[in-house]
Structure 1
């Protein structure tokens, strides 16, 4: 038995169930769905185009992917696409053991997934979907 923490901890499972607090509403038409090539997880992030602080999310994923989606949506309010993309890069580096703990609330709950490389892409899906969705709402000026 290894000395690494359990992947499916009570904390991670508790985070996963909070996704129900962020449904995708009818007015949330600025959206993007992305799929993990490694595990097939799908995450959809949607914003109200008139108020992008209103965020909905759905995740067809394992508990790790669902927890990542919950962690994303709980701290994403008011962030712009560039901030979300920078956070995604920092999280990817952290997951690859090349970077410090990213500045995103509760992200440390995903630390047990670091040795599980097959989960990394699913973890990053919410940030990727949100960055693409928000970039759709940018108009040339």
Structure 2
């Protein structure tokens, strides 16, 4: 069972700084796709809007109502998402999930900022909140690609 010092490490200054400075906050006026994800365990929620061109994210916005860890993860996603394709997003999601659940390595650039969330691996009840933004981005990208091909 994690102790008090582990909780202090979990909510490090870097996590709190990321949570306080989330890029692309808000909503897009005319997104190609919009996805809301919610963690049933803690109630955290993230809504992602995006547009694409040439198979890459060109515009991105997110409405984040989450704990500090979910906010920090949304900040990393928001910093890295523009210019990514679906494969980039799915790889980042899968690497983040493996880092949290299996002690896997830190996700590759441009998502290496997820490294600050490594201490959360011992807090399984926080994993869903941490994954919300990147999961919503993957789902929105899939929807946008489908509508772009229609």
Please give the range of the TM-score, normalised by the shorter of the 2 chains: 0.7 to 0.9
Aligned position for 2:99: 94
Tell me the distance in 1 between the aligned counterparts of 2:37 and 2:5.
33
After superposition, residues 38-117 of structure 1 pair within 5 angstroms as 38-49=41-52, 52-103=57-108, 104-117=111-124
Change (3 A) 1:37 1:78: same
After superposition, residues 1-16 of structure 1 pair within 5 angstroms as 4=6, 6-16=9-19
Q: Which has the higher helix share?
A: 2
TM-score w.r.t. length of structure 1: 0.87
Q: Which residues of structure 2 form unaligned runs of 5+?
A: none
Tell me the distance in 1 between the aligned counterparts of 2:83 and 2:23.
20
The alignment yields a C-alpha RMSD, in angstroms, of 2.1
Tell me the distance in 2 between the aligned counterparts of 1:66 and 1:96.
19
Q: How many residues align?
A: 141
TM-score w.r.t. length of structure 2: 0.83
